[in-house]
Structure 1
Amino acid sequence: MDLQDQLKNLFPDHDYKEEEKAPESNVWLQDDPLLCKFEKRKGKVNTIISGYNGATSDFKILAKEIKTTLGVGGSFKNDEIIIQGDYRDRIMDILKDKGFKVKRVGG
């Protein structure tokens, strides 16, 4: 006897219907392409993503997704995502899969 059968025995008049969850999809509205550039700061290599014109909270969520996907450190400052290391190609692939237009700046 599983849980649903037990609940039916306890509450025979209750009609249980599972709610269908809509798939969680982030719709990114972006007119201009995101800029993906490479910089050296204090002798260390960084990849910087800028040019997002949506909500700051959405850009922070995107930053976290990129960092966890790549398994690297980084931060979000001054409306820019700063990723430690040169991951321009992989970041551009991730952003294109999410529906962004991406422009590579420099090198």
Structure 2
Amino acid sequence: MSNPKKKSLSDLGGIMYSTDPSFNYEHEQESVEETVPNNQQDLRVTLDRKNRGGKAVTLITGYRGSAAELETLSKMLKTKCGVGGGAKDGEMIIQGDFRDKVVLILQKEGFKVKKSGG
């Protein structure tokens, strides 16, 4: 049985040491995010200029699903727009102002999409 690597003492839930030879620390199971069907996803597409050195990016928020699927969707959007970007924490960033194009692409994929913000 392999134990996932703990990053700090707080990850152990306060247990630092046990003298009981039969003690076995029980790990909490990480919750696996279930993928919500595309037609039930409610995505928001905005233009963001804050903290980006004056550069504008298209920000897609509201994605619910696994990190791998988020990365796959982000890669597809970056490829179709021909630009760079990234994905993490349920958000996708596409470099440049591609709001209209991203909305059309996501609608073709079956997502519920709204443009929000300026």
TM-score (norm 1): 0.70
Q: 1:65 to 1:32 in 2, by over 3 A?
A: closer
The answer to whether the aligner puts 1:42 opposite 2:50 as a matched pair is: no
Distance 2:87 2:41 in 1: 20
Please tell me whether the aligned partners of residues 37 and 47 of structure 1 are also in contact (alpha carbons under 8 angstroms). Answer: yes
Please tell me whether the aligned partners of residues 78 and 84 of structure 2 are also in contact (alpha carbons under 8 angstroms). Answer: yes
**Match for residue 101 of structure 2?**
90
Matches within 5 A, 1:49-88: 49-88=60-99
Greater share of strand: 1
Q: Would you say how many aligned residue pairs link Structure 1 and Structure 2?
A: 81
Rg comparison, structure with higher value: 1
Q: Deviations over 1:49-71 (max 9, x none)?
A: 01011222111100000101111
How large is the RMSD of aligned CA atoms in angstroms? 1.7
Find runs of 4+ consecutive structure 1 residues off by over 4 angstroms: none
Alignment gaps of 5+ in structure 2: 1-34
TM-score (norm 2): 0.63
Identity %: 43
Distance 2:89 2:53 in 1: 18
